[in-house]
Chains A and B, each alone.
Chain A
Amino acid sequence: MTMFSSRNWREYPHRYRREASKFTKSGKTYYPKRLVDPETGDTAQETVVLPDEGKIVTFTVIRIAPKQWGELSPYALAIVELTDGTKVFGQLADCNVDEVKIGMEVRLEFRRVQTESHHGVLSYGHKFVPKWF
């Protein structure tokens, strides 16, 4: 599916720099950024940069992958709770998919997330990698 380049471009603050909304009243952080605190309706917020380490809360291994993801198949997906408590979704790279476990420590790395055919725009963002150092 073609993704127009502007659609990718406007997500850079989230995808490239892990920017999130921290709402003043509730103190809660949401990733990606949003205009309204979903729980309180407050709008006062500051932009924070999420930490780059966390633990796997849950995961799966996609064994039957859509063609677009075929060269990575099988690949793992995880929800990771970062060290500040924010939960982030993403792919797990550089791992043996059969060794992925809940509680595993990971680090966020900058990766190419989507490659649109041979001529489209390249989409970058985070992937998780097992923390090994």
Chain B
Amino acid sequence: MRTVCIVGVGLSNWGEVWKESFRDLHTSAALKAIESAGVDHLDSLYVGCMSGGLFVGQEHLASLLTDYMGMRGLPATRVESACASGGMAIRSAFIEVASGISDIVMASGVEKMTDVDGDEATYALATAADQEFEVFHGATFPGLYAMMAHAHMAKYGTTRDMLSKVSVKNHNNGSMNPDAQYPFKVSMEQVAKSVMVADPLHILDCSPITDGAAAVIVCSEDVAKSLGKPYVKIIGSGIGTDTIQLAQREDITTIKAATLAANAAFKMSGKTIDDIDFCEVHDCFTIAEIIIAESIGKYAPGAAGPAILNGETTLEGSFPINTSGGLKSKGHPVGATGVAQVIEVYKQLTGQAEGERQLKSSPKIGMTQNMGGSGGSSVVHIMEVA
């Protein structure tokens, strides 16, 4: 297996991008990634997208997006694993380069979520849950995570303050990120007093609806070196799956798919969680960040909430989580999120994170954890400075 690197990255405008279409968003991110890497061609493309069909009525995305990038004829594949689609695209590109089939592959992700109304967006997102036995009964995504939150609170004494702190911290980080959709700070009180969406989750516990695309250039180390641009190595990649139906899980206070994905990535990289300097995790809801911090093995079950409350995961803490602002503040265009997480780790490891959010500790190893649905799938990548 060859060493695989990431050499260039690009983000489209993020937020409620009324003036740009699905294809515009992707094209802009893709061209930025190509420009930043300085590559003169691609060997193939993997694009992650959760639901082009429901959000913009468009499937058959890979060919369409390749055409609009000015690369008709390029081998291109769309990858889908709900909100983990972007991370899965990275994984696919990683495998293609590691195997020697290709030298330069683009991994991208895109979602245009505001071309439908809130109800339709809720419906589209809910297709990541079990349609016949969860959505049928009126399940929404905040609802499913809220049920995990209640269970976690009952089992471990996780508190409202711990949930709020995730939001406060991520918005603080996001306030330093020029790409963030909601770069404002929030207080513990604001979170706790924001409107209730699904008990116990308030609106400020939830990630937003976002338009956006992200792209990275995944290449062999030979290519990365020849380009003369900052690059990082992907040293571990892992996927985990689980039943997508919450009621069928043994324990809904942990996300087994994330544990499986992290363990697979640790095994490939020869690293352990203790070697990881910082992490971007899938905080689609505040409770998700708490559960994931435990599921990837950083904290014992029930210990992540108190640690987050104590400030261990802030920019200055011993284990910074979501330096980008996370899904909460930076935004969550579902198919693009997994790729954007990798971009944040790339920026931190190459010293390119904007403003005050660049970690002062000169991190060497960073990790991303991207998740589909209520934890039915997860993909983890570990990256190391070159």
Residues of A within 8 A of B (CB): 1, 11, 14, 30-32, 38, 57-69, 72, 75, 77-79, 87-91, 102, 113-114, 123, 125, 127
User: Is B137 within 8 A of A89, CB to CB?
Assistant: yes
Q: How far is the CB of A3 from chain B (nearest CB, A)?
A: 9
Bound-state Cα–Cα, A31 to B139, Å: 17
- Provided the pairs A30-B248, A90-B137, A102-B154 are in contact, do residues A64 and B195 lie with their beta carbons within 8 angstroms? yes
Q: How far is the CA of A64 from the CA of B143 in the complex (A)?
A: 10
Within the complex, the shortest CB–CB distance from B337 to chain A, in Å, comes to 22
- CB–CB B252/A58 < 8 A: yes
- Does A59 lie within 8 Å of B133, measured CB to CB? no
Q: With A and B bound together, what is the CA distance between A125 and B199 in angstroms?
A: 24
Residue of A whose beta carbon sits closest to that of B206: A64
Contacts of B245 in A (CB 8 A): 89
Most buried by A among B122, B136, B252: B136
Closest B residue to A34 by beta carbon equals: B248
A68 touches B119 (CB 8 A): yes
Identify B138's interface contact among A14, A31, A91, CB under 8 A: A91
What would be 6 A-B contacts, judged by CB atoms less than 8 Å apart?
Answer: A1-B123, A60-B150, A63-B195, A63-B199, A77-B138, A89-B247
Closest Cβ of chain B: how far from A100's Cβ, in Å? 8
A89 surroundings in chain B (CB, below 8 A):
130, 133-134, 137, 139, 245-247
User: What is the interface of chain B, defined by CB distance below 8 A to chain A?
Assistant: 119, 122-123, 130, 132-134, 136-140, 142-144, 146-151, 154, 195-201, 243, 245-248, 252
CA distance A83 to B57 in the complex (A): 44
B150 contacts A59, C-beta separation under 8 Å: yes
CA of A70 to CA of B246, assembled, Å: 24
Residues A69 and B138 in contact, CB atoms below 8 Å apart: yes
- What is the bound-complex CA distance between A68 and B374, given in angstroms? 22
- A4 and B119 alpha carbons, distance in the complex (Å): 20
Interface of A is mostly: strand
Chain B residues contacting A72 (CB-CB under 8 Å) are: 138
Chain B residues with CB under 8 Å of A125's CB are: 136-137
> Which A residues lie within 8 Å of B139 (CB)?
77, 89
* A72-B137 Cα distance, complex, nearest whole Å: 12
Taking CB atoms, residues of chain B closer than 8 Å to A69 are 138
| Chain B residues with CB below 8 A from A123, complex form | 136
Contact status B119-A87, CB under 8 Å: no
- Note all chain A residues with C-beta closer than 8 A to B198: 60-64
Q: If A87-B248, A88-B247, A89-B247 touch, does A60 touch B143 (CB 8 Å cutoff)?
A: yes
- Measured CB to CB, the closest approach of chain B to A81, in angstroms, equals 9
Contacts of B151 in A (CB 8 A): 57-58, 102
Which chain A positions have C-beta within 8 A of B130?
A: 89
**Which of A32, A38, A66, A114 is within 8 Å of B119, CB to CB?**
A66
Determine the distance from Cα of A46 to Cα of B285 in the docked complex, in whole angstroms.
39
A131, chain B: closest CB distance, angstroms:
19
With A60-B150, A60-B198 in contact, do A79 and B247 touch (Cβ < 8 Å)?
yes
Could you tell me if A75 and B138 are in contact, using CB atoms closer than 8 angstroms?
A: yes
Question: Are B246 and A79 within 8 A (Cβ)?
Answer: yes
Question: Closest chain A residue to B117 by CB distance?
Answer: A67
B143, B149, B245 — most chain A CB neighbours (10 Å): B143
Give CA–CA (A95, B226) in the complex, Å: 67
For B122, the closest partner residue in chain A by CB is A66
Assess the A11–B137 pair: CB atoms within 8 A.
no
Closest chain-A Cβ to B29's Cβ sits at a distance in Å of: 30
The reply to whether B119 and A67 contact each other, CB–CB distance below 8 Å, is yes
From residue A110, how far is it (CB to closest CB) to chain B in Å?
Answer: 14
A77 engages B119 (CB within 8 Å):
no
- Complex Cα spacing A30 to B143, Å: 23
Q: Which residues of B lie under 8 Å from residue A113 when comparing CB positions?
A: 136-138
Q: In the complex, A63 Cα to B150 Cα: how many Å?
A: 15
Residue of A nearest to B245 (CB): A89
